[in-house]
Amino acid sequence: MLLDYLKIALQSLQKRKMRTWLTMIGIFIGIAAVVSLISLGNGLEQAVVQQFQALGADRIVVQAKGLGNGPPGANVAVPLNDNDLRAVRNTQGVQLATGRIITAIKIEFKKNQRFGYLATMPANSNERAYINSVGGYEIEQGRDLRPGEKYKVVMGNNYLTSPLLGRELKLGDTITIQGQDFQVVGFYKKVGSFQVDGTVVMNEEIEREIMHDKTTDYSIIQAAVSDPKQIDYVASSVAESLRKERRVKEGKENFTVQTTQQLLNSLKSVLNIVTYFLVAIAGISLIVGGVGITNTMYTSVLERTKDIGIMKAIGARNSDILKMFLFEAGMLGLVGGAIGVLLGIGLGKAVEFIATAALGTHLIQASFSPMLIIGALIFAFVVGALAGIMPAIRAANMSPVDALRKGR
């Protein structure tokens, strides 16, 4: 019986090719948008997970609570300082801890200037090695900073490959930061993160000198634990140590302590919300497509009134007529959905290619799971069938006599 419904539905769609294509436009545009957006969202999430996994499972990040947007440490009520860093280092289970300063700066090169971010390196060699490891800092050209080295900087890959300051920079160029000249001694490899690729790195003591920073404040404290399996316990101990140091009660903290997994979960939640919001917007076209299917099916019922009368006269039941028109409406949605899936795959891959070529990063990629494809097709069929319910009910409720008389 289902094969008969399928045959009748396909024959009906073939007889009205122009109307069929116009009806499916809303469906395949909507499905294409949904498939491409979800695939890009899934791909971005997978890329982020991979980057966080590369950081390791032993990382704890401490930040002061801020009053607004900006880099870590900006607009905070009570900044992190050297006493906080000492408290973290002395916490049982912490293998290593280091503080970093991240701040906005004005960078000048000849007559060009731009605003960017500056990040510092500590003097301790073990702490520098840890920052290089978790931050993905690898030298592509030149060399890394040496401890205690003055007026030298290593720059992110964007300065090497893009004319951010009038032209691409090269080794030996002199740039000016906050009125002080610095020589470029190295460039980092591209990692696909603007925080690394667009950052200028210098030694901590020089940053405090040019920024006239007489404090011992830090923007962020990063720590590694001795046993990654105990990271949640160690993170709780770090929080307790900081509460004692800062003399604040539990629940009243002016700082945050997060593990790598907690940071990842927070970021995934944000990505999911953005993806769902965009998909909801794309779903509007599916509503438009459903309205189009409803109109088409009403027209089809009027055109086939005589056929409905004949089928009922020779024994077709109301349920048979209902299923036939529902199946036809569902096929409209399914065919439109199949076209939309193909368009969505092409659109997702196009965005991935353009992003990779333009940004030089694999962070934006499209991931098409079998469940996404199958789910999109089922959803398109269901949208079509639901849109055809009212026309199908009208066709099923026709009396044979009236249908034959009106169909003359």
Distance of CA 138 to the CA centre of its chain: 25
Task: Give me the sign of the Cα torsion angle 246, 247, 248, 249.
Answer: positive
Q: Classify burial at 161, counting beta carbons within 10 Å of its beta carbon; exposed 0-12, middle 13-18, buried 19 or more.
A: middle
Interval 14-57: pLDDT, tens = 677 777 777 778 788 888 888 888 888 888 777 776 666 555 66
Containing 405, the helix (H) or strand (E) segment is: helix 400-406
Question: What is the distance between the terminal CA atoms of the chain, rounded to a whole angstrom?
Answer: 28
Q: What is the pLDDT of residue 93?
A: 92
Beta-bridge mates of residue 255: 64
**Mean pLDDT, rounded, for 376-399:** 85
pLDDT score of 242 more than 70 = yes
**SS3 of residue 277 by DSSP:** helix
Q: In the prediction, which pLDDT does 360 show?
A: 61
Q: What is the mean pLDDT of residues 73-80?
A: 75
The answer, yes or no, to whether residue 67 has pLDDT greater than 70, is no
pLDDT in tens, 185-232: 999 998 777 678 889 999 999 999 888 877 788 999 999 998 888 888
Q: What is the mean pLDDT of the chain?
A: 83
Q: Is 98 helix (H, G, I), strand (E, B) or coil?
A: strand
SS3 assignment, position 390: helix
Residue 92, amino acid: Q
Q: Are 387 and 300 in contact (CB under 8 A)?
A: no
Q: How far apart are CA 122 and CA 204, in angstroms?
A: 6
Task: Give residue 359's pLDDT.
Answer: 61
User: What pLDDT, on the 0 to 100 scale, is given for residue 304?
Assistant: 74
Average pLDDT over residues 322-337: 84
Tokens representing 332 are 């409209």
Number of alpha carbons in the 13 Å side-chain half-sphere of residue 243:
13
Residue length of the chain? 408
Q: What is the per-residue pLDDT for 235?
A: 92
The Cα–Cα gap between 35 and 261 comes to 28
More confident: 305 or 146: 146
User: pLDDT, tens digit, for every residue of 284-318?
Assistant: 777 878 888 888 888 877 777 777 777 777 777 88
In percent, the amount of the chain with pLDDT more than 70 equals 88
Which tokens go with 257? 């302590």
pLDDT at 362: 65
**For residue 87, what pLDDT is reported?**
94
User: Is the pLDDT reported for residue 270 higher than 80?
Assistant: no
Greater pLDDT, 108 or 384: 108
Quick check: 62 and 220 in contact, CB under 8 A? yes
pLDDT at 206: 92
Using DSSP bridges, classify how beta strands 180-188 and 152-155 pair: parallel, antiparallel or unpaired: parallel
> What gap in Å lies between CA 185 and CA 200, rounded to an integer?
11
Residue 408 has pLDDT above 60, yes or no: no
Which residues, in sequence order, are CB contacts of 84 under 8 Å at separation 6+? 62, 218, 221, 242, 245, 246, 255
Q: Tell me which of 125 and 7 has the higher pLDDT.
A: 125
Q: Report the alpha-carbon distance of residue 114 to residue 200 in Å, rounded.
A: 12
Q: What is the pLDDT of residues 350-383, one digit of tens each?
A: 888 887 776 666 667 788 888 888 988 898 888 8
**pTM for the whole thing?**
0.65
What whole-number distance in Å separates Cα of residue 363 and Cα of residue 190?
12
C-alpha pair distances (Å), 212 with each of 160, 180, 208, 385: 29, 12, 6, 70
Q: What tens digit of pLDDT does each residue of 91-134 get?
A: 999 999 999 999 889 999 988 999 889 999 999 989 999 898 88
